[in-house]
Amino acid sequence: MTRFTPAELEAARDRLVPDVVAGGLRVLFCGINPGLMTAATGHHFARPGNRFWPVLHLSGFTPRQLKPAEQAELLSYGLGITNVVARATARADELSAEEYREGGRLLAEKAVRLRPRWLAVVGVTAYRAAFGERGATVGPQERVFGDTRVWVLPNPSGLNAHWTAATMAEEFARLREAAEDEG
């Protein structure tokens, strides 16, 4: 993995990272916003401590653990990645409430346009902020966008220590099974 200096990472602040999307996906995963490592590399969930890629594999979504640089392969599995807020920051707490709300509005439009079976928001706090649902918990939600159902997953950041890779993989697998049952 490429090593970046603090100055190089800081230079990635506010950059946009292209979505990995197509119409009609089984699951469109949605992160909070790109971190500086993601923005510097152009690859989603690129920070070494992030557990998204290992959990995606452990849950059975992919036959092997993909590297962030292999993110385009997700499309061949009917999967994609986007974010609630597009701009890169060092930490999610740098985002404003308005950015979350506007991100939620744009995400809803994207879901209606792309029509994935499931929109999977990785991070219950981000979901609550984007859609004003303070009582939301991890799991399937009542909310739909057109034909797209919504599932909230635990945030795979290494900072979310009360979820282990194994318990996250169990929750991701529940979503995978729901997506397969509908297929």
C-beta separation of 128 from 162 below 8 A: no
Longest dimension (CA), the chain: 47
Integer-rounded Cα radius of gyration of the chain: 15
Q: In DSSP terms, which residues pair with 87 in a beta bridge? A: 16
Return the pLDDT at 2: 72
Tell how strand 148-153 and strand 139-145 pair up. Answer: antiparallel
Q: Say if residue 158's pLDDT is above 70.
A: no
Q: Which DSSP helix (H) or strand (E) runs through 168?
A: helix 165-181
From CA 34, how far away is CA 32, in angstroms rounded? 7
Three-class SS of residue 80? strand
Q: Which of 33, 50, 83, 155 is catalytic?
A: 33
Q: What does the pLDDT average to over 98-107?
A: 96
Considering the chain, what is the average pLDDT of its residues? 93
C-beta separation of 98 from 104 below 8 A: no
Q: Say if residue 79's pLDDT is above 80.
A: yes
Q: Which of 43, 44, 50, 83 is catalytic?
A: 44
What do you get for the CA distance between the two ends of the chain, in Å?
36
From CA 11, how far away is CA 52, in angstroms rounded? 24
Annotated catalytic residue 44: yes
Q: What does the pLDDT average to over 167-181?
A: 94
Other Cβ atoms within 10 Å of 159 Cβ, number:
10
From CA 25, how far away is CA 120, in angstroms rounded? 12
pTM: 0.95
